[in-house]
């Protein structure tokens, strides 16, 4: 789980990493020494379209599907 948390952190903080993650999750995580399970890589692959969105668009997208969603 620790590598998944690090992957998420890097995706949020590093736009270059986020772009690479969107294009090739497996190679990108390996290049940073992150070891994700097959299920974690599959989840990232399924979420590629969301990873590409700016934060404001992501929040809007989430609210469309779950209007009661909150940050906390």
User: What global pTM score does this model have?
Assistant: 0.73
Contact residues for 41 (Cβ-Cβ < 8 A; gap 6+): 25, 26, 29
Residue 72 is assigned to a structural domain of this protein: no
Element (H, E) at 31: helix 25-31
- Using 50 as the pLDDT threshold, list the residues of the chain that sit under it: none
Residue 71 is assigned to a structural domain of this protein: no
pLDDT of residue 9: 87
How much of the chain, in percent, has pLDDT values that exceed 70? 90
DSSP conformational letter for 53: S
pLDDT of residue 15: 86
Cα separation of 72 and 55, whole Å?
16
Q: Which residue segment(s) compose the domain that 38 sits in? A: 2-65
DSSP conformational letter for 52: T
Q: Total domain count for the chain?
A: 1
pLDDT of residue 28: 95
pLDDT of residue 69: 61
pLDDT of residue 56: 76
CA proximity to 16, closest of 28, 5, 6 = 28
């Amino acid at each position: 789980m620790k590598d998944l948390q690090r992957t998420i952190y890097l995706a949020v903080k590093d736009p270059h990493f986020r772009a690479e993650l969107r294009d090739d999750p497996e190679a990108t995580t390996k290049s940073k020494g992150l070891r994700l399970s097959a299920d974690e890589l599959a989840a990232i692959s399924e979420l590629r379209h969301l990873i590409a969105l700016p934060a404001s668009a992501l929040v809007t997208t989430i609210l469309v599907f779950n209007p009661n969603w909150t940050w906390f």
